[in-house]
Structure 1
Amino acid sequence: MDMPTSSPNTSDQDCDISDLNTSWVPPYIYTISALGIPLNLLVLLVFLLHRQKCTATEIYLSNMAIADLFLVVLMPLWGVYEANDHHWTFGGPMCTFVSLLLVMNYNCSIYFLVLVSIDRFFALVYPLKQCILRRRKYAMLGCFLVWCLGLLLNIQILMCRKAIPYNGTEEYVCGWNCSDSVYYAHEVIQTIMAFIIPLLIILFCTVKIVHTLTRRLSNRNSTQQTEHKATILVLTVLLAFFICWLPFSITRMIELGVRINLIENTCSIWLHLYICRILFLYFGFFNSALNPVLYVIVGKNFRKKIREVGRGQGSMRMSETRITTSSFK
């Protein structure tokens, strides 16, 4: 399988992968899209139609829902590509565009979670400080910068991901059309900028948040309990994201080590990496359909918003607690 971020010019082509069964991939993709499109649309409509203005946390999570929606809308094209035995029939520009959006979903999602983590960090650890990221206009600016960063991190995709003639025939594959060195540079940038750095920031914020919540639970203060509830969804979404995407990120790091000969390069290793990359990549895509479900299950106030939007009576009240906390509680 030609993965969204893999290079066709690697030694794994010497290994026989013809016996690997990937017939499950297209129906899996179609299922994720069928679930993810209406669920993410529901999240965005609730934020859009409710009369209360979105808080900073809601702005970050709604942009994450937009990234997920882009992914699940475009995934069926990749499902058709898989079903057609990797023959691309949608033209060169669509090959580049679909590949770009598939990778940008991961890049932008993790940085939206970085912003959410920082927002919760200041809300809980330093509640008396006015963090600029917690203001709505700066939250929107932060989201805009994340989208720009996601595009910047994938300049190589725009340059190198093309519809390439297959063995001189009139059929095309959606593949990497640059040198291996450019591909390695792309993988190193992705590993550092879209995994290691945001992971360290999120881990730092999460440890501080959990420590603060644990210390405050014994006080039984109503305002602090509200802060606790407001953070549970954020921590749940963070955990779900890393459960879904951490295996793929680790596999990519191991593969990079093999490509640059830090790890022994054998056919057996390539076959195992190939299988893991397929399984973990599509497991990661499941996160795009999972997030809206978590909002409904864990977000008590989000369920309330759904009911209010359904009745056409979004609340206009903004309590003091509401000003200082996310509505996701």
Structure 2
Amino acid sequence: IKKEISSMSGNQSNTSEDHCPTINTSQSHCIPEDNSLIFTLVPPYILVISVLGIIFNVFVLMVFCLHKKACTVTEIYLSHLALADLALVFCLPFWSDYARISYDWPFSESLCKVSSAVISMNPFCNIYFLVMVSIDRYVALVHPLSHERICSPFYAKLGCLFVWVFGLVFALPIFIYRKLTFNPQSNLTHCSLNFTSPDQYLMYEVRVIIFSFIIPVIIILFCTVKIIQTLRKRRMEVLNIQKTDQKATTLILAVLLAFLIWWVPFHVTKILDVLRYTRILKCHITLIIAQQVSVYFAFFNSVLNPILYVIVGKSFRNRTKEFFNVWLSAATVLLLIVTE
């Protein structure tokens, strides 16, 4: 017998002994009744992700925003990517506490809505920031003569603003349908999505899959293939590639690969769950476990990105050294003034 609970995605369903959950008005994640392992492992894992994510992404934003040099177009996109990750990891501790007390929401309904909306905005905003940076690298390498004209810092900032606005619009159903629901059988209060009809759930999930995964991944793959082809062609023709372009492109490809590795399983399980809902696929406990694991698996991407900037991004390392030198000098001067 399985037990109904509300997971990080906060969805619900009914369960039965022999079948997967029959979805009423929302998607669900159901796990075996013996879920002590989840309540034991998930909260500390989420807390570690939160602490590391806050430290790393604040550091990245400080290097990008407080440095004396203005950010390049690529760095503008990466700084907004860090901001989206920072917003995510700030919300995760609430869900860590939620998991710790057996999915009994202890906070207000407003916090339930806001934290859920921020978490749902993260993959949407992240992937579109990566779409924009992929297009920037594509234009820089494949159409270099047009790059300075159409890929300026002003347009990059404007593009980031559009992504944030569309991300907020994308999260509107979370604000509307995410509510606190009391389960009298378990005596628990869940922070869950409560659609008024099954069709609303299906439309919501299909929209998420199309606009947060399929369309942006197609654009990213197209740009990436063209970028790799151009780099190979120039090497074969012994043509000069500006070092700055090559380094920036290497970093972006690493960040893109990391995003796909950590987020593709999450979106694949969403697609499989929609197919299960429409009865195209039969349900299996493996899918239910995969849904749980893929959510927590994807969150690590918010910690990994700053690490990639340091390991792969030589320009970022140079900025970091200059940043520390400037602030160390300022701190030294201030200390001398105070001591005198």
TM-score norm. by structure 1 comes to 0.89
1:239 to 1:232, Cα distance in 2 relative to 1, 3 A: same
1:226 to 1:58, Cα distance in 2 relative to 1, 3 A: closer
Does the residue aligned with 2:192 lie in a helix, a strand or coil? Answer: strand
The aligned counterpart of 1:53 is: 70
In the TM superposition, what is the alpha-carbon distance from 1:189 to its structure 2 partner? 0.4
Determine which of 320, 332, 336 is the counterpart of 1:306.
320
Q: How does 1:1-329 map to 2 (within 5 A)?
A: 1-5=5-9, 7-9=11-13, 12-13=20-21, 17-20=32-35, 21-22=37-38, 23-130=40-147, 133-167=150-184, 171-179=188-196, 180-264=198-282, 266=283, 269=284, 271-312=285-326
1:93 to 1:168, Cα distance in 2 relative to 1, 3 A: farther
- Residues 57 and 83 in structure 2, CA contact (< 8 A), matched pair in contact too: yes
- Residues 161 and 176 in structure 1, CA contact (< 8 A), matched pair in contact too: yes
Which digits, 9 at most, give the CA deviation of each residue in 1:271-310, with x for residues without a partner?
Answer: 2222101111111000000000000000111111111011
* Larger CA deviation: 254-263 vs 287-296: 254-263
1:211 to 1:93, Cα distance in 2 relative to 1, 3 A: same
> Using the alignment, how far apart are the partners of 2:53 and 2:6 within structure 1?
23
Look up the equivalent residue of 1:2 and give its one-letter code. S
- Residues 7 and 183 in structure 1, CA contact (< 8 A), matched pair in contact too: no
Does the residue aligned with 1:128 lie in a helix, a strand or coil? Answer: helix
> Using the alignment, how far apart are the partners of 1:241 and 1:295 within structure 2?
13
In the TM superposition, what is the alpha-carbon distance from 1:99 to its structure 2 partner? 0.6
Look up the equivalent residue of 1:136 and give its one-letter code. P
In the TM superposition, what is the alpha-carbon distance from 1:3 to its structure 2 partner? 3.1
1:133 to 1:140, Cα distance in 2 relative to 1, 3 A: farther
Aligned residues: 310
> Using the alignment, how far apart are the partners of 2:299 and 2:211 within structure 1?
20
In the TM superposition, what is the alpha-carbon distance from 1:226 to its structure 2 partner? 3.7
Sequence identity percentage: 42
Which digits, 9 at most, give the CA deviation of each residue in 1:131-174, with x for residues without a partner?
Answer: 66511111111001111111222221111111112228975210
Does the residue aligned with 2:242 lie in a helix, a strand or coil? Answer: helix
> Using the alignment, how far apart are the partners of 2:82 and 2:150 within structure 1?
19
Look up the equivalent residue of 1:155 and give its one-letter code. L
> Using the alignment, how far apart are the partners of 1:274 and 1:143 within structure 2?
35
1:10 to 1:119, Cα distance in 2 relative to 1, 3 A: farther
Look up the equivalent residue of 1:241 and give its one-letter code. F
Q: Larger Cα Rg: Structure 1 or Structure 2? A: 2
1:133 to 1:178, Cα distance in 2 relative to 1, 3 A: farther
> Using the alignment, how far apart are the partners of 2:76 and 2:132 within structure 1?
10
> Using the alignment, how far apart are the partners of 1:184 and 1:120 within structure 2?
35
In the TM superposition, what is the alpha-carbon distance from 1:313 to its structure 2 partner? 7.7
> Using the alignment, how far apart are the partners of 2:89 and 2:315 within structure 1?
26
Structure 1 residue runs without a partner (length 5+): 315-329
Does the residue aligned with 2:190 lie in a helix, a strand or coil? Answer: strand
* Larger CA deviation: 110-119 vs 214-223: 214-223
In the TM superposition, what is the alpha-carbon distance from 1:222 to its structure 2 partner? 4.9
- Residues 4 and 103 in structure 1, CA contact (< 8 A), matched pair in contact too: no
> Using the alignment, how far apart are the partners of 1:167 and 1:228 within structure 2?
59
1:243 to 1:218, Cα distance in 2 relative to 1, 3 A: same
In the TM superposition, what is the alpha-carbon distance from 1:225 to its structure 2 partner? 4.1
Structure 2 residue runs without a partner (length 5+): 23-29, 329-340
